[in-house]
Amino acid sequence: MTRFILFRQLISFFILCMGGLGLAYAQDNTTRDSEPLVGLESFMDGLMNAQLKNSHIAGGTVAIVKDGNVLLSKGYGYADVKNKVAVSGEHTLFRPGSTSKLFTYTAVMQLVEQGKIDLNADANSYLTQFQIPATYEQPITVRDLLTHTAGFEERFINMIVFDEKELIPMEDFLAKGLPERVRPVGQNSSYSNHAVAIAGLIVANVSGMSFDDYVEKHIFQPLGMNSTTFREPLPANLIGNMSHGYSYNPDTLDYHQEKFEMVHMLAPAGSSSSTASDMAKFMLAHLNNGTYKGVSILNPDTTAKMHSPLYSKDFGGHAMAYGFYQTSYKGLNMIGHGGDLLYFHSDMYLLPEQNFGIFMSFNTADTGETRNIVITSILEEYFAKEVEPVKSPDSFATKVANYVGEYQFMRHSSSDFTKSVGLLGGTVNVSAGEDNTLLIKPFGGKFAQVDEHLFVTTDFNSPDFSKVTFNLDDSGVANEIYLLPFMHAKKLGFFESPTTHQIILAICVLAFIAILISAFRQRKKHADVARSQLMLPRLLAVVSGLNIFFLVFYTIAFTINYKTLFASSAAAFVLVPIALTVLIISLIASLPLPYFCYQAWAKGQWNIKRRIAYTLVTVLVALMLILMNYYNLIGFKY
């Protein structure tokens, strides 16, 4: 969720240039005669049209509310590119993704309000279908499920499917594929879709209704959200209004219509579909003490509690509220939640002090910085005041090395082969920036020190990354960084770094290629060499070939399956076990190599250079196998 601000002057330029071009056709807008935010509709038209064009997005939808009123509910671009069906803010359904979690958290708090759920109770006390293992002494509470502090690993195999025949009941999916507990509760916050799904299952168990039925009866129907559902596939009355999801092909300059994504096996975490108009009603209820048009879904005390801090590291950074998370921008305090499926990307921000809310959603795979540009542009236009950037104390120049390093997010797989995603990097790099600042990439930008734990933005690149905090060890050196309230990362040592692992693999590949070339060149020269002596180079050649085949084949299998988050029922998934089988064969073939190396040295076989070369390659074979085992690639771990 990298985001970089487009300054107000640049936005004004785009509005002037793009506002009248009509890239996207705006439909079904709702505005008020009086304008609490003057010129809002024309401002949004220019902004959205420019963003759809520049980021190659097929369509988007926006709802903006303030002071109890809907100021804008409008669609831009196309819900159906082929048939040129325009997006309607009133009627077109988009996929809010993880923004759906706010409905789940609201449902939990309704039952807390009624005394039916105790946030401090062991989550297992509400689960009848399975039990969360007692990996650690302290049990996971319902509160831990809301703050992503349950200590689960990430597990995303089969999270998204494209055929309704592949859907199984949520309770069965959770029971069979519950993520492992990898840290004690409360130690760190690491985003977990499974934790939120468990919270939704608790709602169902306590209420005696299915989760879908509960949210419809107690949230959607009371608020008049008649075009919102968690059900998958969609109910018949909503199918015709659903926007397609798209991917953009920069080579052919066209949009490819993708299949409908189904995540109902973790429904409470993100399976909802809704319109901008309906999402406006939900925002208004939360901004008005839990009430919309005289109907209450929460009492004022519960609503206020939901918006208040529930978990943080107490270093002055943003906190997790009750499902919402805190952000800020130039002194403006915000709560909200983003959401991402493969082909839909959404955000909701509430500014309770300004009684303002915005929901936006886009229907194309890569939206770039669009969401960040939209929210920061609106804040700059209507709310933000110029603030003096914070400057680090002069003494920070001598301490910057304490924070520099590579940090890995705690949200990753520990038990299955998708841990290999870590080989791609995906880390946070902290380095010394200009003007006595820290430079944090790819998130955030430049930060100045407030105190030894807290750093604040100096370039206001993003409301989500306006503050970061660090945990320090006893020597004053940072060992963890906290970005968003649920994005905690630990500093990596040299041998833990993906960069180090990539270098090791590159050296291995070069050595394996050299062995194969040598074996080809020497094949005739070895005609008179004893067969027992030839076992070492020949076996090294076989193992090298298998390893290279594995790396190439697995990379292809990984690339093909990554875009579907490794749905095991997808046709391409069969490539993964084939690749893993090749690695197992390589492992078995590698077992005699140390013995043959010993024989070469003990019997003086080959010349000294060859013995050293063969021994080094044998060591590299072992290093690669150790690395592959570290990434759960030895065996069939899925």
Contact (Cβ atoms closer than 8 angstroms) between residue 472 and residue 490: no
Calpha distance 273→163 (Å, rounded): 17
As to burial, measured by CB atoms within 10 angstroms (0-12 exposed, 13-18 middle, 19+ buried), residue 600 is: buried
- Cα distances from 531 to residues 517, 528, 535, in angstroms, run 20, 9, 7
Q: Rounded to 5, what percent of the chain is helix, strand, coil?
A: 40, 20, 40
Segment 181-198 shows an average pLDDT of 97
pLDDT of residue 209: 98
Please determine, for residue 13, whether its predicted confidence score (pLDDT) is greater than 80: no
- Cα distances from 16 to residues 47, 75, 311, in angstroms, run 10, 20, 44
Residue written as tokens 């529930």?
Answer: 310
Calpha distance 452→64 (Å, rounded): 38
More confident residue, 14 or 314: 314
Cβ-based neighbours of 369, under 8 Å, separated by 6 or more:
2, 3, 4, 6, 55
Calpha distance 638→629 (Å, rounded): 14
Q: Band the pLDDT of 15: cuts 50, 70, 90.
A: very low
| Residues in the chain, total | 638
Mind listing the pLDDT tens digit for each residue in 322-341? 999 999 999 999 999 999 99
What does pLDDT average to over the chain? Answer: 92
Residue written as tokens 């159906």?
Answer: 80
pLDDT of residue 358: 98
pLDDT of residue 494: 95
Residue 575 DSSP one-character state: H
Calpha distance 94→261 (Å, rounded): 11
Q: Band the pLDDT of 444: cuts 50, 70, 90.
A: confident
| Span of 108-112, 416-420, 484-488, 519-523 with lowest mean pLDDT | 519-523
Contact (Cβ atoms closer than 8 angstroms) between residue 190 and residue 152: yes
- Cα distances from 47 to residues 19, 54, 77, 179, in angstroms, run 7, 11, 13, 41
More confident residue, 100 or 3: 100
CA torsion, ordered 246, 251, 252, 253, to nearest 10 deg? 60
Closest CA to 469 of 188, 149, 192, 150: 188
User: Which residues on neighbouring strands pair with residue 454, listed in sequence order?
Assistant: 469
pLDDT of residue 410: 96
- Cα distances from 474 to residues 103, 477, 478, 491, 621, in angstroms, run 42, 7, 9, 15, 39
For helices 608-630 and 575-590, angle between their N-to-C axes, nearest 10 degrees: 140
Mind listing the pLDDT tens digit for each residue in 386-434? 888 899 999 999 999 999 999 999 999 999 999 999 998 889 999 999 9
Q: Band the pLDDT of 453: cuts 50, 70, 90.
A: very high
Which tokens is 382 given?
Answer: 């209507």
pLDDT of residue 6: 34
Calpha distance 457→329 (Å, rounded): 10
Calpha distance 178→186 (Å, rounded): 19
Q: Band the pLDDT of 12: cuts 50, 70, 90.
A: very low
Calpha distance 638→633 (Å, rounded): 10
Mind listing the pLDDT tens digit for each residue in 546-576? 999 999 999 999 999 988 888 877 788 999 9
Task: Give the whole-number percent of the chain exceeding pLDDT 90.
Answer: 85
